[in-house]
Structure 1
Amino acid sequence: MEIVVCVKQVPDTTEVKIDPATNTLVRQGVPSIVNPFDKNAVEAALQLKEKHGGKVTVLSMGPPQAKDALKECLAMGADEAILLSDRAFGGADTLATSHTLAAGIKKMGNVDVIFCGKQAIDGDTAQVGPEIAEHLGIAQVTYVAKVEVNDGVVRVEREQEEGYEVIETSLPVLLSVVKSINEPRYPTVKNTMKANRKEIPVWTATDVEVEPGLIGLKGSPTQVRRIFTPKQRVQGEMIKAETPREAAALLARKLTEAKII
């Protein structure tokens, strides 16, 4: 079974800072991590491989330092890793990103299952996975909390607010997984050493079949114009009085003076 996992290197959200002058994210000095949902996707792929055999390849689009994220996935147990990196890919929105990732998957050849995390914690759009499936013309299921494959039939439990929806489809398929699907394993020392020695191939725009007008900033119909931190709300006031009746009267008077009531 040929399994691909799309992963993204994202800024650690506990360390995110915004430049007040430019209203953009400050990435310099901010640690990067593997998108947490993508780790669940890697774990789901590894479990599927352990049950049915095959190969797990992790794929990412990003700058050269994204190799660190791919090496962490290799240390978890993935077999291969590929990085799509080219200045032409820069500034891509979700549509341009999905076009590039889909082109990378097409270059790999026949793929049975594609795993993605539900969403990336930096953009929170949850769009890239479904868009990849559309580019490839294959089935997709989102919010996957459980997956089983038997004789080419994929049976999944899709997480809903009030329960689970059971869906069956056929291979090939793209599945975007939720956090409750599993607990990602820790990288082993042996696999970490192997990952550090492994050479990760880098594919550029000339290596994959992409249309120049559909990648990077030029291929992005949406753009982020401004990012800002909301102003901190003023703390409320505690109404203190000897009795509840007096407290209610004091509150009513303050609300009246503020012309709220």
Structure 2
Amino acid sequence: MNILVCVKYVPDATADRTFEDDGTVDRVGVDGLLSELDEYAVEQALQLKEKGEDITVTALCVGPEKAVDAVRKALQMGVDQGIHVVDDAIAGSDYAATSLVLAKAVEKVAGDGGVDLVMCGMASTDGAAGIIPAMLAERLSWPQVTMASVVETQGDQVRVKRDSDTATEVIGATMPLVLSVTDQSGEARYPSFKGIMAAKKKPLETWSLSDLGVDAGQVGLSVAWTTVEDTTARPPRSAGEVVKDEDGSGAGALTDFLASKKFI
């Protein structure tokens, strides 16, 4: 079985994130990392591999040059091989263009050796839209099962459990399949020292749009369905107001403050 896990390189949420002049997120001048929600997909793929079946797990990432770090993290966790799609024309792509590039990459991998299961996180930690798995399945003409908390396989059959606010569903599907998993599927492992050293010897390919047969005019900011027209920097944090309740007036001062901010 061949499992392909889509991983994304996202800006570190603890860093000061900024926008470029064209309204796109700065992904070069800020520290980045493998999206935490995608780590759950990597973990589930590795758990399937560890059950004794003949499974190869590949990490696929689309992003700038620094995005290769997300693939390396997946390799350190235990993924067998990695693919990084990088091309200047991709910058500024929306979900539609991103799903196109991912689909063409999946098709290329499938043509080389077959893909049985494409796994994704429930969303990325920067965009948080959660629509890439569905768009990818549509482009591939594959069935999809989303928001899985438990994943089991037997032959070409996949059995998943989905938890919602009101019910738990058990769904069966036949591969090939696009599957997304939630952050309730189990904590992702940390790379071990052995895994970090082994990752240096694992194959990692770099592909461009031409390798996928994608025209540069089909991706990028110029064909995006949505654009950011304006941004405003977050104001600097100001010092708080201290109210001393020395004469019993503290409650009134607090009430006045909350009312002035329209909290009450």
Q: What's the TM-score, normalizing by structure 2?
A: 0.83
Give 1:190 deviation, angstroms: 1.8
Give 1:160 deviation, angstroms: 0.9
Q: Provide structure 1 residue ranges, at least 5 long, that are not aligned to the other structure.
A: none
1:186 corresponds, among 190, 194, 200, to 190
Contact 1:10 1:122 survives alignment (8 Å): yes
Distance 1:19 1:132, change over 3 A: closer
Q: Which moved more, 1:31-40 or 1:63-72?
A: 63-72
Q: What residue number does 1:89 align with?
A: 90
Give 1:129 deviation, angstroms: 1.6
Letter in 1 for 2:160: V
Are 2:170 and 1:166 aligned? yes
1:128 corresponds, among 128, 132, 135, to 132
Q: Residue 142 of structure 1: SS of its match in structure 2? A: strand
Query: Aligned residue pairs: how many?
Result: 257
Distance 1:102 1:230, change over 3 A: same
Q: What residue number does 1:196 align with?
A: 200
CA distance in 2, matches of 1:61, 1:134: 18
Q: Residue 70 of structure 2: SS of its match in structure 1? A: helix
Distance 1:33 1:226, change over 3 A: same
Over aligned residues, Cα RMSD in angstroms? 3.3
Distance 1:211 1:183, change over 3 A: same
Residue by residue over 1:57-86, the C-alpha shift from the partner in whole angstroms, topping out at 9 and shown as x without a partner, is 000001121111111110111001001011
Residue by residue over 1:31-54, the C-alpha shift from the partner in whole angstroms, topping out at 9 and shown as x without a partner, is 211000110000000111222321
Are 2:87 and 1:63 aligned? no
CA distance in 2, matches of 1:19, 1:96: 20
Distance 1:112 1:231, change over 3 A: same
Q: Provide structure 2 residue ranges, at least 5 long, that are not aligned to the other structure.
A: none
Q: What's the TM-score, normalizing by structure 1?
A: 0.84
Contact 2:58 2:80 survives alignment (8 Å): yes
CA distance in 1, matches of 2:65, 2:144: 29
Q: Which moved more, 1:228-237 or 1:92-101?
A: 228-237
Letter in 1 for 2:132: V
CA distance in 2, matches of 1:139, 1:146: 18
Contact 2:23 2:229 survives alignment (8 Å): no
Q: Which moved more, 1:194-203 or 1:105-114?
A: 194-203
1:222 corresponds, among 203, 207, 226, to 226
Contact 2:20 2:26 survives alignment (8 Å): no
Mapping of 1:1-261 within 5 angstroms? 1-18=1-18, 25-27=25-27, 30-51=30-51, 52-109=53-110, 110-228=114-232
Contact 2:161 2:168 survives alignment (8 Å): yes
Residue by residue over 1:84-142, the C-alpha shift from the partner in whole angstroms, topping out at 9 and shown as x without a partner, is 01112121101100100110010011211111011111111111121111100001111
Residue by residue over 1:174-219, the C-alpha shift from the partner in whole angstroms, topping out at 9 and shown as x without a partner, is 1111111011111121221122344521111111132444222344
Q: Residue 120 of structure 1: SS of its match in structure 2? A: coil
Q: Residue 123 of structure 1: SS of its match in structure 2? A: coil
Q: Residue 147 of structure 1: SS of its match in structure 2? A: strand
CA distance in 1, matches of 2:101, 2:19: 29
Contact 2:24 2:228 survives alignment (8 Å): no
Q: Which moved more, 1:174-183 or 1:225-234?
A: 225-234
Distance 1:27 1:135, change over 3 A: closer
